[in-house]
Structure 1
Amino acid sequence: MATNDESMFKALAGVTTATLTTILLKKGLRNVWIRGAFPLAEGSSRVVGRAFTVRFVPAREDLATPESWASPKSSRGAIEQMPAGCIAVVDAMGVKDAGIWGDILCARMAKRGVSALVTDGVVRDLTGVLGTGLPVWASGAAAPPSVAGLTFVDWQQPVACGGVAVFPDDVIVADLDGAVVIPAALVGEIVDAAVEQENFEGWIMREVEAGAQLPGLYPPNEANKAKYEASKRKD
């Protein structure tokens, strides 16, 4: 079993989010896919990292002001706390008419070594954001600033991003199908099961390409289970 982040994350980098949702479903976890978070750049590579959570609430006029950006408790302050390798998970309540932040903030995240930004909201300054090279999963882009529709609250709290409960240090895996949350306490056992499932489905694909029919193969009957186990021994 994988025992540390480096080995676990290396293994998860080879596992699709589609496979992960299946494995998590088998563990009884159905609500793990963050709604509204899709890669903004074409051909985005899979990313894996621990969640650094950021939370917004609805805009309140006395708090959601441009002056609030200078407060220590602000999106700017949150970014300065993000460790290298983390994935920033921003709960924007699905608001799509106020960008949580733009190119300058994303550039700072990239400079700090943050692996990616995942949000159920939107960004602004899209061309600039893409130019920073920071991988972003979001619902799109909007010109207005965050304070037009949101109030920044805090970081490293439990959040509800895209309808999914995300806690600090949960593991996030994001690819072209979106972003999936793996509870921190389950990561080790999920990794092993997911890698095995990925290997098994790779074997099934090779069988299909060789002309095999699906009934009895996917899901496998006893004969195909034995055939798969024999293939592993050959490897």
Structure 2
Amino acid sequence: MNVTVTSLDPALKERLESVSTATLTTIMLKKGIRRSWLRGPMPLFAASHRAVGRAFTLRFVPLREDLATPESWSSPRSTRAAIEEMPEGVIAVADAMGVRDAGIFGDILALRMKKRGVSALITDGVMRDAAGVESSRLPVWATGVAAPASVSSLTFVGWQEPIACGGAAIFPNDVIVADRDGAVVIPAALVDEVATLGVEQERLEGWIMGEVEAGHRLPGLYPPDSETKARYEAWKAAQQR
């Protein structure tokens, strides 16, 4: 499969950058999607800011000794070839099956992704060459680090096809949002609606935080009852004058 990456509207990206992954998982739960948060990947390198981008998927399978060799790194079906297909702004999402004893990418590949304008790398596996990856300034969410190369435990088989990463199903062109709480996948068809709901939820919760700071009790405030909702709507109307 060779799925063309659809560019993410800058205004939509900006809206999602204002919404936390915690808020997004709640919205997704209300939409009936329970597995939107990726188990395992957490901010590891240069991940101090929220990352938002279309998913560019990469897939590893278990070790096949005849295929997973250092010579395979020069193959047309290699991680090197996949990186050269990554458009600017995507988030690379790698299904490494949770394997933690082989780093899927090291410093040179991380630097190349950074130079190509890749927004971030998300994986349920691990990285290698930690010092060099950190120096590349590529934002990385992963489960840790390990010295061995990927071919010691994994076989790279392709890119831009459906994958499983951290227990979540991810399709090319889904949207990934990652912050200090981890990474969330939003199905491509739901992105605009989820962004709209997310921005409003963040505004409501910001107002609730102010109420808590002012000493209000939680019952009826969070979640808001009808009286609280009316006070919130009045506050919103006042802000728009």
- TM (norm. structure 1) is 0.97
Residue aligned with 2:29, SS: helix
Deviations 1:178-231 (A, max 9, x none): 000000000011011111101000000000001000001001111110000001
Aligned residue identity for 2:79 = S
- Tell me if 1:28 matches 2:32: yes
Aligned ranges for residues 145-160 of structure 1 at < 5 Å? 145-160=149-164
Deviations 1:57-76 (A, max 9, x none): 00100000000000011000
Residue matched to 1:13? 17
Residue aligned with 1:40, SS: strand
Aligned residue identity for 1:213 = R
CA distance in 2, matches of 1:5, 1:155: 23
CA distance in 2, matches of 1:142, 1:221: 50
Contact preservation (8 Å) 2:97, 2:165: yes
Q: CA deviation at 1:43?
A: 6.2
Aligned residue identity for 1:214 = L
Point out where structure 1 has 5 or more consecutive residues left out of the alignment: none
Residue matched to 2:235? 231
Contact preservation (8 Å) 2:86, 2:118: yes
CA distance in 1, matches of 2:77, 2:198: 38
Point out where structure 2 has 5 or more consecutive residues left out of the alignment: 1-7
Residue matched to 1:93? 97
Residue aligned with 1:168, SS: coil
Identity of aligned residues (%): 67
> CA RMSD for the aligned pairs?
0.9
Equivalent pairs, count:
232
Deviations 1:45-93 (A, max 9, x none): 1000000000000010000000000001100000000000000000000
Q: 1:188 aligns with which of 172, 179, 192?
A: 192
CA distance in 1, matches of 2:161, 2:115: 24
Residue matched to 1:205? 209
CA distance in 1, matches of 2:159, 2:9: 22
Residue aligned with 2:94, SS: strand
Residue matched to 2:141? 137
Aligned ranges for residues 31-46 of structure 1 at < 5 Å? 31-41=35-45, 44-46=48-50
